[in-house]
């Protein structure tokens, strides 16, 4: 896999200068003939643990939902390696079980291999194939999820531990978006993340917007994109 871009999001302090979440970053690469975008949460503390992601693409009056007025701009247009073309008879009984199934964002199922994962679209709390403990909130649309995520979609790890730790890299991958090669249409979405400091039970929250494809550094100001981060209690 050839990596060709790394961009850290611009950060705005919203509620606490001591917050350890510093914004989103997007790593763009090419794999399996697709353009692949990995979305990371970045920290300045190696002992934080990521808990969940929610309000994906949501637009409302709360700080985490109002980074862009629409909550999202454009279409994600993700492609999936469990895509099934046309109507599928799963059990051979002559009855169609899946109609034009567009694939899912649920990683870690038996159909995935390390090769497939490199060019697939999925959500995760770890970004590690074969060890995903990621579960989907009820806010996800019922399968199939398609090429986009439902507004307010969320995902989490029910047993967060060391695999969800920020660690020495000070970042955790939360989402991978694979697109048909050459698709340069921009997609921007809000996203909120819950996390905590190791040894504590108080949840902290980071929020803001990210964009694919990764814009050139000079275009960032023109697009008006900024990731906001903060700490607050719920």
Tens digits of residue pLDDT in 106-157: 765 545 666 778 888 888 876 544 456 788 888 887 666 778 998 889 998 8
What confidence score (pLDDT) does residue 181 get? 92
- Whether residue 11 is predicted with pLDDT greater than 60 in this model: the reply is no
CA dist., res. 36 & res. 76, Å (int): 12
The string of pLDDT tens digits covering residues 27-51 is: 999 998 999 999 999 999 888 888 8
CA dist., res. 1 & res. 190, Å (int): 28
Question: Do the Cβ atoms of 147 and 76 come closer than 8 Å?
Answer: yes
What confidence score (pLDDT) does residue 39 get? 94
Task: Lowest mean pLDDT of 79-83, 187-191, 211-215, 216-220, name the range.
Answer: 216-220
Question: Do the Cβ atoms of 82 and 103 come closer than 8 Å?
Answer: yes
Query: What would the mean pLDDT of 178-200 be, rounded to a whole number?
Result: 91
- 191 or 104: which leads in pLDDT: 191
Q: What percentage of the chain carries pLDDT values higher than 90?
A: 24
What confidence score (pLDDT) does residue 229 get? 43
- Whether residue 221 is predicted with pLDDT greater than 50 in this model: the reply is no
Q: What angle do CA 55, 206, 220 make, to 5 degrees?
A: 90
- Whether residue 102 is predicted with pLDDT greater than 90 in this model: the reply is no
What confidence score (pLDDT) does residue 25 get? 92
Cis check for the bond before 213: say yes or no (omega within 30 of 0). Answer: yes
Other C-beta atoms lying within 10 Å of the C-beta of residue 87: 11
DSSP state of 151: T
What confidence score (pLDDT) does residue 36 get? 95
Q: Among residues 25, 19, 38, 51, which one has the least CA distance to residue 165? A: 51
Residue 37, classified by CB atoms within 10 Å of its CB into exposed (0-12), middle (13-18) or buried (19+), is buried
Query: What would the mean pLDDT of 69-74 be, rounded to a whole number?
Result: 89
Question: Do the Cβ atoms of 172 and 125 come closer than 8 Å?
Answer: yes
Mean pLDDT for the chain overall: 75
Q: What percentage of the chain carries pLDDT values higher than 70?
A: 66
If DSSP codes are grouped into helix, strand and coil, which group holds residue 223?
helix
Question: Do the Cβ atoms of 160 and 88 come closer than 8 Å?
Answer: no
- Whether residue 83 is predicted with pLDDT greater than 70 in this model: the reply is no
């Amino acid at each position: 896999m050839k990596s060709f871009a790394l961009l850290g999001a611009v950060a705005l302090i919203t509620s606490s200068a001591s917050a350890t979440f510093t914004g989103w970053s997007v790593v763009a690469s090419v794999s399996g003939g697709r353009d692949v975008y990995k979305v990371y949460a970045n920290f300045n503390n190696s002992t934080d643990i990521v808990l969940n992601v929610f309000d994906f693409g949501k637009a409302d009056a709360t700080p985490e939902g109002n980074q862009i007025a629409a909550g999202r701009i454009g279409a994600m247009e993700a492609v999936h390696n469990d895509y099934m073309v046309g109507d599928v008879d799963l059990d051979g009984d002559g009855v169609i079980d899946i109609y034009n199934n567009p694939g899912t964002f649920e990683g870690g199922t038996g159909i995935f291999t390390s090769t497939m994962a490199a060019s697939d679209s999925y959500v995760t709390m770890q970004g590690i194939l074969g060890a995903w403990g990621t579960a989907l909130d009820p806010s996800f649309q019922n399968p199939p999820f398609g090429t986009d995520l439902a507004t307010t979609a969320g995902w989490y790890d029910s047993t967060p531990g060391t695999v969800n730790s920020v660690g020495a890299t000070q970042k955790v991958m939360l989402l991978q978006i694979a697109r048909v090669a050459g698709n340069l249409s921009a997609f921007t979405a809000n996203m909120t993340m819950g996390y905590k400091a190791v040894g504590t039970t108080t949840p902290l929250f980071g929020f803001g917007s990210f964009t694919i494809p990764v814009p050139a550094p000079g275009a960032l100001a023109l697009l008006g994109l900024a990731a906001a981060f903060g700490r607050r209690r719920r």
